[in-house]
Amino acid sequence: MPTALPTARPIPGSGPVDTSPISLTPAPGDDLDPIWKAVVPETRARGNDIHLPISLAYAERLCDAFPEADRLLVRVAIQLHDTGWGRVDEERILAEGFTGDWRKAQIRYEHERQGCLIAREVLPPLGYDGEFVRQVCAIIDGHDTRQEAHSLEDALVRDADRLWRFDHAGIALASGWFRMDPALYTDRLEAEIIPELLTAPALAMATADLNRSRALLKTAVIR
Ligand SMILES: [Fe+2]
Ligand SMILES: [Fe+2]
């Protein structure tokens, strides 16, 4: 069940906050493997096979920091949130999805809509009930185009969706989408993405990752 969204910003967590490199804590367990198997074709679009598992690992950490959150809801929603990219025109992803007012591009609404269709397609045969599927879709729908989060779980998914970009793998992949060099892209992360984070644990993780990635990629010199 979704948890009411706290009003404090950033939202403080009550559990442990792990700011170590994300590669040290891959998402544990195999209960989501049947879902992964069901969406392999959709993971081949737009780097989803990198973005989704790394974001899931961050979501697991955020759930540790917010033990009151519905962990399964957060995990399944982050796992499926961008699968809709696999069902939209690939050409339009880069042409429209990352230029101009990219957050409001028609292709963004389309990938959210398709992501909900995929969730409704793959989850029921795997035993997830209608109410759970509805809650997953409520998070997927508008995850990029909506301004505000509707629940704590929604907020955690939104933060996990941003956190992966701070790891060097995220920088390697996403800087190319925006046609930016790593130095410029890490500047953008600091100026635009950090202020969008909703929770204090995500803020701590993003800051630690950004410092590590900048040092690793020598962005102070190579610019
Ligand atoms: Fe998205
Ligand atoms: Fe995403």
Residue 25 falls inside a structural domain: no
Question: Rounded to the nearest whole angstrom, what is the distance from the C-alpha of residue 47 to the centroid of ligand 2?
Answer: 10
| Domain containing residue 36 | 30-217
Ligand 2 is an ion; residues with CB less than 5 A from it: 82, 161
Question: Rounded to the nearest whole angstrom, what is the distance from the C-alpha of residue 112 to the centroid of ligand 1?
Answer: 7
Q: Quote the number of domains for the chain.
A: 1
Residue 154 falls inside a structural domain: yes
Residue 127 falls inside a structural domain: yes
CATH code assigned at 199:
1.10.3210.10
Integer Cα distance of 190 and 80 in angstroms: 26
pLDDT of residue 97: 66
16 touches 204 (CB < 8 A): no
Question: Rounded to the nearest whole angstrom, what is the distance from the C-alpha of residue 110 to the centroid of ligand 2?
Answer: 14
Residue 71 falls inside a structural domain: yes
Ligand nearest to the CA of 51: 2
Ligand nearest to the CA of 158: 2
Residue 66 falls inside a structural domain: yes
Residue 152 falls inside a structural domain: yes
Q: What is the DSSP letter of 67?
A: T
**Alpha helix (H) ranges present in 69-222?**
71-80, 90-97, 106-122, 130-140, 152-163, 168-177, 182-188, 200-217
213 touches 167 (CB < 8 A): yes
Residue 93 falls inside a structural domain: yes
pLDDT of residue 96: 76
Spatial CB neighbours of 153, under 8 Å, sequence gap ≥ 6 = 2, 3, 69, 70, 73, 74, 77, 135, 139
Question: Rounded to the nearest whole angstrom, what is the distance from the C-alpha of residue 194 to the centroid of ligand 2?
Answer: 15
Ligand 1 is an ion; residues with CB less than 5 A from it: 82, 144
pLDDT of residue 101: 74
Residue 204 falls inside a structural domain: yes
Ligand nearest to the CA of 48: 2
Q: What is the DSSP letter of 1?
A: -
Q: What does the pLDDT profile of the chain (223 residues) look like in tens digits?
A: 999 999 999 999 999 999 999 999 999 999 999 999 999 999 999 999 999 999 999 999 999 999 999 999 999 999 999 999 999 987 787 777 677 777 778 899 999 999 999 999 999 999 999 999 999 999 999 999 999 999 999 999 999 999 999 999 999 999 999 899 999 999 999 999 999 999 999 999 999 999 999 999 999 999 9
Question: Rounded to the nearest whole angstrom, what is the distance from the C-alpha of residue 126 to the centroid of ligand 2?
Answer: 23
